[in-house]
């Protein structure tokens, strides 16, 4: 009888390990106005709104850049849901008979640039750089 139980336990474990249970993690970064370049932990991932898959929860560095707006840099906490905390994490990642989807959405307000360079000053800088380039080929 113990042999049958061991075989049944082994068979059940094999069947459970073949199930597609896992957690799909995805975060969306949006901005107002849209169209800002997004750097996530130093890597460019697209323009807002954009969504990326991720593996680990925690704090992520988010940088948004858009012409005419101040660059926004923030440390964004991405909290883990209850089923991604030990000991539940093992079961959610390995033994569930279905896939869980965990989504996080973050929206940031961009501020218009506070430093606008007058056109004549900008043209003066350009001419100066052009002159330096001709002097130092």
In this prediction, residues 39-66 reach a mean pLDDT of 95
pLDDT tens column, 68-95? 999 999 999 999 887 767 777 676 667 7
pLDDT, greater one: 74 or 130: 74
Percent helix, percent strand, percent coil in the chain, to nearest 5: 30, 40, 30
pTM above 0.75, yes or no: no
By the 10 Å C-beta count (0-12 exposed, 13-18 middle, 19+ buried), 31 is classed as buried
Measured between alpha carbons, how far is 15 from 30 in angstroms, rounded to an integer? 41
Confidence of residue 47 (pLDDT cuts 50, 70, 90): very high
Q: What are phi and psi of 43, to 5 degrees?
A: -110, 130
pLDDT tier, 8 (very low <50, low <70, confident <90, very high otherwise): low
Between 30-39, 57-66, 114-123, the lowest mean confidence (pLDDT) is in: 114-123
**pLDDT classification of 13: cutoffs 50, 70, 90:** low
Lowest mean per-residue pLDDT among 34-38, 88-92, 117-121: 88-92
8 Å CB contact between 21 and 98: yes
- The widest CA-to-CA distance across the chain, in whole angstroms, is 93
What is the CATH code of the structural domain delimited by 21-116? Answer: 2.60.40
Among 33-42, 46-55, 84-93, 108-117, which stretch is predicted with the lowest mean pLDDT? 84-93
Asked whether residue 63 carries a pLDDT value surpassing 90, the answer given is yes
Residue 9 is predicted with a pLDDT of 60
Give the span between the Cα atoms of 47 and 98, in whole angstroms: 32
Q: Which phi and psi (to 5°) does residue 106 adopt?
A: -130, 130
For the chain, give every domain's residue range. Answer: 21-116
């Amino acid at each position: 009888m113990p042999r049958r139980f061991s075989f049944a336990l082994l068979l059940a474990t094999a069947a459970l390990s073949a199930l597609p249970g896992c957690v799909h993690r995805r975060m969306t970064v949006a901005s107002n106005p849209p169209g800002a370049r997004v750097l996530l932990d130093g890597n460019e991932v697209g323009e807002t709104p954009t969504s990326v898959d991720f593996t680990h929860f925690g704090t992520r560095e988010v940088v948004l850049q858009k012409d005419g707006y101040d660059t926004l840099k923030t440390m964004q906490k991405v909290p883990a849901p209850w089923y991604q905390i030990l000991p539940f994490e093992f079961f959610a990642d390995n033994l569930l008979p279905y896939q869980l989807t965990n989504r996080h959405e973050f929206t940031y307000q961009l501020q218009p640039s506070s430093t606008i360079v007058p056109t004549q000053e900008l043209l003066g800088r350009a001419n100066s750089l052009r002159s330096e380039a001709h002097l130092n080929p």
